[in-house]
């Protein structure tokens, strides 16, 4: 077993070794080396990689679990998460108290997802583009069969997030994922339930995917803005009808 004084983790007399290990793990998460949902190497491997004891690794992992960045995996191990459970729960309570809060969330999405679409057009890898293409094919097939609307919508927006290449944005989407499901259920089965709505949304998504595939950042941003602007406009119509 290696000891905690290894030069692999720079010494700082003011900082515990476990805190320095936690910082190293956090840096690797932030770099995208370990993505949301990914299982981390075991304690023994982490200890060997960082030149510290398993006791220090275990303490570091516990610190990050407490902060909501890691979670225990059933059967053993640790995976990367975000503090989504707390955030999702509070958002869900807001939505239950007032369904119109979804309109605010739609406007917020209209800002950050436009940014993500632009980044996706700039950064998408061949694997990202293949995933987007597969999601689009599945969406069209399922719309024609009248099934899986929400699931494909979520897959599409998460695929755009992944293509953005931003670890920070992936964590943001991880936080919103639960409430996003509730939001899109409302969209696809109450606000936009008709076959015409299905085709409109399919067209919006195709325009976004095509712009990302072409590497056209401006077109991707415009297409995402048009899509979510259309959603927000429908919210405002519904709100005005309820208020009249």
Rg (CA), the chain: 21
* In-domain check, residue 7: no
As a whole number of angstroms, the distance between CA 105 and CA 130 comes to 29
Q: What is the pLDDT of residue 92?
A: 58
- Mean pLDDT for the stretch of residues 158-181: 81
Say which CATH number the domain at 236 has. Answer: 1.20.120.530
- Mean pLDDT for the stretch of residues 96-107: 70
* In-domain check, residue 29: yes
User: Average pLDDT over the chain, rounded to whole?
Assistant: 82
Task: Give the residue, 140 or 181, on which the prediction is more confident.
Answer: 140
Q: pTM of the full predicted structure?
A: 0.66
- Mean pLDDT for the stretch of residues 198-210: 96
Q: What is the pLDDT of residue 34?
A: 82
Confidence of residue 122 (pLDDT cuts 50, 70, 90): very high
**Parent domain of 122:** 84-243
As a whole number of angstroms, the distance between CA 221 and CA 115 comes to 7
- Mean pLDDT for the stretch of residues 159-176: 84
Query: Does pLDDT of 26 surpass 60?
Result: yes
Other Cβ atoms within 10 Å of 80 Cβ, number? 23
In a shared domain, residues 64 and 113? no
Please report which residue ranges of 54-187 form alpha helices under DSSP H.
Answer: 54-66, 84-97, 101-123, 126-145, 149-164, 167-186
In a shared domain, residues 122 and 226? yes
As a whole number of angstroms, the distance between CA 60 and CA 158 comes to 30
Q: What is the pLDDT of residue 1?
A: 42
Overall domain count for the chain: 2
In a shared domain, residues 62 and 103? no
* Partners of 196 in the β-ladder: none
As a whole number of angstroms, the distance between CA 188 and CA 194 comes to 9
3-state helix, strand, coil in the chain (%, to 5): 75, 5, 25
- Mean pLDDT for the stretch of residues 200-222: 97
- Establish how many alpha carbons lie within 13 A of residue 91's alpha carbon, considering only the half-sphere containing its beta carbon: 20
Q: Please give the structure tokens belonging to residue 51.
A: 């030149």
* Partners of 39 in the β-ladder: 79
Strands 78-80 and 70-72: antiparallel
pLDDT digits (tens, 9 = 90+) for 4-23: 433 344 444 445 888 889 88
- Of 54-68, 127-141, 143-157, which gets the smallest average pLDDT? 143-157
Q: What is the pLDDT of residue 82?
A: 54
- Mean pLDDT for the stretch of residues 131-142: 93
């Amino acid at each position: 077993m290696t000891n905690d004084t290894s030069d692999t983790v720079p010494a700082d007399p003011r900082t515990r070794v476990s805190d320095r290990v936690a910082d190293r793990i956090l840096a690797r998460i932030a770099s995208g080396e370990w993505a949301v949902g990914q299982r981390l190497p075991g304690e023994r491997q982490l200890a060997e990689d960082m030149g510290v004891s398993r006791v220090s690794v275990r303490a570091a992992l516990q610190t990050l679990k407490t902060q909501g960045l890691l979670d225990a995996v059933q059967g053993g191990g640790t995976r990367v998460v975000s503090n989504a459970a707390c955030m999702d729960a509070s958002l869900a309570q807001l939505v239950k108290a007032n369904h119109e809060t979804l309109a605010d969330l739609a406007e917020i999405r209209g800002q950050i997802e436009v940014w993500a679409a632009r980044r996706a057009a700039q950064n998408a890898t061949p694997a990202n583009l293949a995933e987007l293409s597969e999601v689009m094919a599945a969406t069209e097939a399922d719309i024609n069969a009248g099934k899986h609307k929400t699931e494909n919508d979520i897959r599409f927006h998460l695929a755009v997030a992944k293509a953005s290449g931003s670890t920070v944005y992936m964590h943001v989407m991880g936080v919103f994922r639960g409430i996003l499901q509730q939001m899109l259920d409302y969209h696809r089965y109450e606000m936009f339930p008709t076959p015409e709505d299905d085709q409109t949304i399919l067209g919006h998504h195709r325009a976004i995917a095509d712009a990302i595939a072409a590497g056209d950042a401006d077109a991707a941003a415009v297409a995402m803005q048009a899509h979510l602007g259309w959603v927000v406009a429908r919210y405002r119509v519904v709100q005005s009808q309820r208020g009249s």
